[in-house]
Structure 1
């Protein structure tokens, strides 16, 4: 069992990935299709959802840029990072797909955002595991 610097045991929190669609270079088939989920987000609470996605706690930063795989120009979105709320994790470009293409998010993710009052709580990244 892992121990902290004081020798006390602690548990690692296994994070659940959201939005790692098969079209993305870092996605997987089990993540489903990004294309099939476009234009399905109702837009209800869109401002709150986008704010939540963008304010996730960064715990992994990749030395690469994210590119829009749904754009014919494959334009740059920005630096790629993994963000979390302490239970779920997603890529930093997910907010772009929700905003530009109204990509639908899993209902349990939306419910978690609402339960958290649309705000990311404090996250101890030292106990996270993906």
Structure 2
């Protein structure tokens, strides 16, 4: 089993109704990523492999500027994991992400790594263990 780190508030394994409780905290983190850095970070977040694909529809909890089909699906780069709609929060609002992740992304030159099928299954096993814990 491969352990991955949740990406702050966006490492939520919950549905949209539970995630929306973070609206004020997300709003407070808005505007902290400079405009010129947002596209690269957002593309990295989108390009990382989907580990758990979830159907559903999420909406921007800050000010309803976007919606995302499958927004609560989980992506991972093998080190961190996050919700699919994280990219929209970064791109639209400049929502701050943990500095360790920003350093990690810069080190990777904002190119999401490919993961093998075995690595994806190890991360999936990790998520299943989290769900089993409750």
TM range (shorter): 0.7 to 0.9
Of the structure 1 ranges 116-125 and 82-91, higher mean CA displacement relative to structure 2 is found in 116-125
TM-score in terms of structure 2 length: 0.74
Q: Which protein shows a greater Rg?
A: 1
**Residues 100/74 of structure 1: CA separation in 2 closer, same or farther (3 Å cut):** closer
Q: How does 1:1-130 map to 2 (within 5 A)?
A: 12-20=1-9, 25-27=17-19, 33-71=25-63, 73=64, 76-80=67-71, 81-123=73-115, 124-128=119-123, 129-130=126-127
Question: Where in structure 1 are there 5+ consecutive unaligned residues?
Answer: 1-11
TM-score in terms of structure 1 length: 0.76
Q: CA RMSD in A?
A: 2.6
Runs (4+) off by over 4 Å: none
